[in-house]
Amino acid sequence: MLDRFATALLRPLVNAAARVLAHAGVSANGLTILGFGMGIGAALSIALDAYLSGTALILLSRLCDALDGAVARQTQPTDAGGFLDIALDFLFYAFIPLAFAVANPETRALPAAVLLAAFMGTSSSFLAFATLAAKRGMTSHAFPDKSIYFLGGLTEATETLAVFLAMCLWPAYFAPLAYGFALLCGITTASRIWWGWRAFQ
């Protein structure tokens, strides 16, 4: 829901940084892999109850995620790079709830499982729509720079990042945050399925 506004707000800074990085020879795929590595580091930190380092690594990971596409547009975007970015993003989103469950399985395993199931709904509906949208030659006017058709909802990357950071800053409230966000993900999934059914009729 907030991605469009966050992207518009941060685009000038991200594009300026991307120009510097591209001029220095930094590759978009390198940033994608670096960001994923930091995401893995964040998950490991959380699993070890090191929540402040987890917070920092999540932020750095998402910074790389913002920069990789911008660097690609400064050079030459490729389908391989877009695929790598999307695939590693979804893995990152799965590893963070799993890390919270590993840190305290007695109280967090069930809410983490519920949240991961909700993520499955948002990701599957997102990718299913993008697949058929590409088949029909549809493009997203709201997110024209994305590698695939980007279907929005209540729970996009900005909201997910905010929830992950809240979980790191207030780990005692992981369960209510996970259940609450899972509910919003359920609403997003239902709206995407309804919209997809109507769009492809």
pLDDT digits (tens, 9 = 90+) for 23-60: 999 999 999 999 999 999 999 999 999 999 999 999 99
Check pLDDT > 70 for residue 145. Answer: no
Percent of the chain with pLDDT over 70: 93
Domains of the chain: 3-199 (1.20.120.1760)
DSSP-derived secondary structure for 27-92: -HHHHHHHHHHHHHHHHHHHHTT-HHHHHHHHHHHHHHHHHHHHHHHHS---HHHHHHHHHHHHHH
- pTM for this predicted structure: 0.89
Which of 55, 64, 61 is CA-nearest to residue 14? 64
Q: Which residue has the higher pLDDT, 144 or 163?
A: 163
Mean pLDDT of the chain: 91
Give CA–CA dist 72/120, Å, rounded. Answer: 28
Q: Is the model's pLDDT at 68 over the cut of 80?
A: yes
pLDDT digits (tens, 9 = 90+) for 75-97: 888 889 999 999 999 999 999 99
Category of 146 on φ-ψ map: left (φ > 0), alpha (ψ -120 to 50) or beta = beta
Distance CA 199, CA 119 (A): 22
Q: Report whether pLDDT(133) > 70.
A: yes
